A and B are shown apart, each in its own frame.
Chain A
Amino acid sequence: MNFMNRAFLNVKAKKGRTLLLTLVLSAILMFVLAGILIQNAATTAAENAKESAGATVTLSANRENAFKKLNSSSSKSKKLSLASVSVKTAKKIASSSYIKSYNITTSTTANAKSFDAIETSSSNSSMSGGPGGKSNSSSSSNSTGDLTISGVSATSTVSSFSSGSYKITSGRGIRSSDAGTNNVVIEKELAKENNISVGSTIKIKSTSGTKYTLKVVGIYKASSTSSTSTGTMQSDPSNTLYTAYTFANKLKGSKYSGTADSVVFNLSNPAKANKFIKYAKSLINTNKFSVSKDDSTYQSMLTPLNNIKSFANKIVWLVAIAGTIILALIIILMIRERRYEIGVLLSLGEKRWKVIAQFFAEMFMIMIVSLVIAGIGGKFVGSALSKQLVSQQTTTTATTTSTTGNSTGGAPSGGGAPSGGGGGNSAPSGKSGGGNMMTTAASSTSSSQLSSQLSTDVDILSLAELGGFGLSIIFLSIMLASIGIMRLEPKKILIS
């Protein structure tokens, strides 16, 4: 272990050189650590994103196939027949371990009887003349009511409510125990206009003419952004009433009992969306039904995180490689300066590997000090870098998701949000509006979550990882620099 002693004496005696090497190695390790910290933070954030940003899978009628059938059929009636999802099947699918919760939705329209619906400029007339006129005829009725009845199993599982864009302001939401009742949750604007409060009863008339009395159990407030985004093309969101899905079925007619327009499954792990879809497809008739996922919230959080992660990964490797090269060059120069010393050691019969081991031991001592310095500095570099990255990433993804949001929103049942699909009457453009609203909500949550979750604290594990990188860097650079030593002949060094 004599080389250790030599290394110690050398590091102690050559203070200037030791200081220089410490600074260089600290700088290299600081950036490596910053990269590691950001990488770890992004990994943790991605884990958290799985839990906080749920993904949903919607089971609904296969519109694509239904349209195909409609276009190919020779019959003049041109009536679109959409299959209803059986609640029993839905419950069977929901019993899988992939599922955290699920929401059964049935939407239809009705007319206000004891009160007035909110009037908006062109709501109904634009609906009938809207694009995709063919789909206008609903499966249940030909005329359209002025109220949208959203039958759900629970409002808490509706994405508009869970994302925070709709809020219950008084009373309560619809719960699964409301199944079979005539309980209703209405919008604040509608309640104000008609002096309705929690506990009041209201009367509505189905499109086929049957009258129903509903009991108001809660009032919700639709956020202003959603009313502007949907208001232009769709009936005012204030005219949406949330009831138990069983009531919506009752409105549509007796043959709809035990069915649903669609069932939205909230996944416990968004990363397993595709696996679940495969599983669900094995249980349904895919000709009649389709399952589609909406993990845009998850994806919109995951994409920037993955970008940050891969960027941090590049930092780590680039700095490590560049650092190795820089350090190797410095050590090469250092070793040239120490040729005589090496020559004496070799002439004393010291083994070459022990000469190299001495250099390694010297660098190791320097590395320990550098690790401490980098540990202190890396936190600051890391947090500064990650702040920069997060602000960059969230702005870029906000723009990309809103554009993709438009395209997926236009696809059948892509919205997944009952507010986007106004019963069977939903025009494709209306759907796209719903899609848009969803993603703006998603990206705003993702940015706030990103910045709060990318905490770049230095822990033992990342320090250990840094130590590993440090060891590899000094090992490789000494090996590179030592190729020269291995060839040195003591006579050539000592006898000039």
Chain B
Amino acid sequence: MLETKDIGYWYDHQANALYRNVNLQFAEGKTYAIVGSSGSGKTTFLSLIAGLDKPSEGEVLYNGRAINKIGLTNYRNKYVSIVFQSYNLFTYMSALDNVLTAMAITNSQHKGDKEYAIDMLSKIGIDQDMAKKNVQRLSGGQQQRVAIVRAMCCDAKVVVADEPTGNLDETNTRETIELFQELAHAQGKCVIIVTHEPEVAKMCDETIELKNKEFTTKSAIKA
């Protein structure tokens, strides 16, 4: 469903490219973990497939169509949801309003929007009372979970997440990744998670390692 075709990226000089000739494929209904050392370019790669930036060379294809042909704004609006490393919630809203606003902007429809959002929030441990509080009154971990639910509630088929479990404890991390898995399998989404936690990587269907400017896909080590 999502494909990179010979993409390369560099900030200043071609000689200092983070990577070149990257050809990867992401299928729907699967979860992917991208691992690699700090500064290797994971976040940058995510921004390319999320349509936040354009690759220096090559192109990103969504269902065979180049995403700049779809239009990056349009692509972000309809086909991809993003969970940021620094959650980036609307600080003047409640958790529930954050989710509802994102759903409204992306025209995502679910049976009983509000009930659906409340249900999703409660699944990751944010009860109704908390959901109606201003997000700034939630803990960092809680805010992170709100950001994840915000991305999951949108209809976009591709969900990209940058270190989504960075602020979560072991139990919450497990529950969150399980939620991602459930989402991918039940709704046929393609979830791409950048992580440095081996635990998280193990839970995903496939792991892609970025090392020495090369991406290598490792088969899932599944029991």
Q: What is A's interface to B at a CB cutoff of 8 Å?
A: 2, 5-6, 9-10, 13-14, 340-341, 343-351, 489-491, 494-495
Question: B106 to A348, Cβ gap below 8 A?
Answer: yes
A476 vs B43: C-alpha distance when bound (angstroms): 38
List residues 73-117 of chain B with CB under 8 A from any CB of chain A.
73-78, 82, 84-86, 88-93, 97, 101-102, 104-106
Please indicate the chain A residues that have their CB under 8 angstroms from the CB of B92 in the complex. 9-10, 13-14
Question: B82 to A347, Cβ gap below 8 A?
Answer: yes
Please indicate the chain A residues that have their CB under 8 angstroms from the CB of B84 in the complex. 344, 347, 494-495
Question: A346 to B73, Cβ gap below 8 A?
Answer: yes
Given contacts A349-B73, A349-B74, A351-B73, contact A495 B101 (CB under 8 A): no
Question: A349 to B76, Cβ gap below 8 A?
Answer: yes
Whose C-beta in chain B lies nearest to the C-beta of A496? B86
Please indicate the chain A residues that have their CB under 8 angstroms from the CB of B17 in the complex. none
Whose C-beta in chain A lies nearest to the C-beta of B52? A491
Whose C-beta in chain A lies nearest to the C-beta of B94? A9
List residues 31-82 of chain B with CB under 8 A from any CB of chain A.
43-44, 47, 50, 52-53, 73-78, 82
Please indicate the chain A residues that have their CB under 8 angstroms from the CB of B86 in the complex. 494
Is B172 part of the contact surface with A, judged by Cβ < 8 Å? no
Q: Which 9 A-B pairs have the closest CB atoms?
A: A349-B77, A13-B92, A349-B76, A491-B52, A2-B104, A491-B53, A344-B88, A348-B105, A10-B92
Question: B73 to A9, Cβ gap below 8 A?
Answer: no
Please indicate the chain A residues that have their CB under 8 angstroms from the CB of B105 in the complex. 2, 345, 348-350
Is B167 part of the contact surface with A, judged by Cβ < 8 Å? no
A494 vs B85: C-alpha distance when bound (angstroms): 9
A489 vs B43: C-alpha distance when bound (angstroms): 16
Question: In the complex, what's the smallest C-beta–C-beta distance from B53 to chain A, in angstroms?
Answer: 5
Q: Can you list 8 A-B pairs, Cβ within 8 angstroms, ordered by A?
A: A343-B88, A345-B105, A346-B76, A347-B50, A348-B77, A349-B73, A350-B77, A494-B84
Question: A13 to B93, Cβ gap below 8 A?
Answer: yes
Question: In the complex, what's the smallest C-beta–C-beta distance from A206 to chain B, in angstroms?
Answer: 97
Query: 12 extra interchain contacts, Cβ-Cβ under 8 A, other than A341-B91, A348-B82, A349-B74?
Result: A9-B92, A13-B92, A343-B88, A348-B154, A349-B73, A349-B76, A349-B78, A351-B73, A489-B52, A489-B53, A495-B47, A495-B52
Is B134 part of the contact surface with A, judged by Cβ < 8 Å? yes
Whose C-beta in chain B lies nearest to the C-beta of A347? B82
Please indicate the chain B residues that have their CB under 8 angstroms from the CB of A350 in the complex. 77, 105
User: Count of B residues near A, CB < 8 Å?
Assistant: 30
Please indicate the chain B residues that have their CB under 8 angstroms from the CB of A491 in the complex. 47, 52-53
Please indicate the chain B residues that have their CB under 8 angstroms from the CB of A489 in the complex. 52-53
Whose C-beta in chain A lies nearest to the C-beta of B79? A349
Question: A344 to B52, Cβ gap below 8 A?
Answer: no
Question: A6 to B101, Cβ gap below 8 A?
Answer: yes
Please indicate the chain B residues that have their CB under 8 angstroms from the CB of A495 in the complex. 43-44, 47, 52, 84-85
Question: A347 to B134, Cβ gap below 8 A?
Answer: no
Given contacts A348-B77, A494-B52, A495-B43, contact A2 B101 (CB under 8 A): yes
Please indicate the chain B residues that have their CB under 8 angstroms from the CB of A348 in the complex. 76-77, 82, 102, 105-106, 154
Most B Cβ at <10 Å: residue of A6, A345, A495: A495
Question: A494 to B101, Cβ gap below 8 A?
Answer: no
Question: In the complex, what's the smallest C-beta–C-beta distance from B145 to chain A, in angstroms?
Answer: 16
Question: A9 to B47, Cβ gap below 8 A?
Answer: no
Question: In the complex, what's the smallest C-beta–C-beta distance from B150 to chain A, in angstroms?
Answer: 9
Please indicate the chain B residues that have their CB under 8 angstroms from the CB of A343 in the complex. 88
Question: A9 to B106, Cβ gap below 8 A?
Answer: no
Question: In the complex, what's the smallest C-beta–C-beta distance from B38 to chain A, in angstroms?
Answer: 14
A14 vs B93: C-alpha distance when bound (angstroms): 10
Say which residue of A14, A340, A490 sits within 8 Å of B52 (CB atoms): A490
Say which residue of A9, A340, A347, A351 sits within 8 Å of B93 (CB atoms): A9
Question: In the complex, what's the smallest C-beta–C-beta distance from A461 to chain B, in angstroms?
Answer: 37
Please indicate the chain B residues that have their CB under 8 angstroms from the CB of A490 in the complex. 52
Most B Cβ at <10 Å: residue of A5, A346, A347, A489: A347
Question: A349 to B106, Cβ gap below 8 A?
Answer: yes
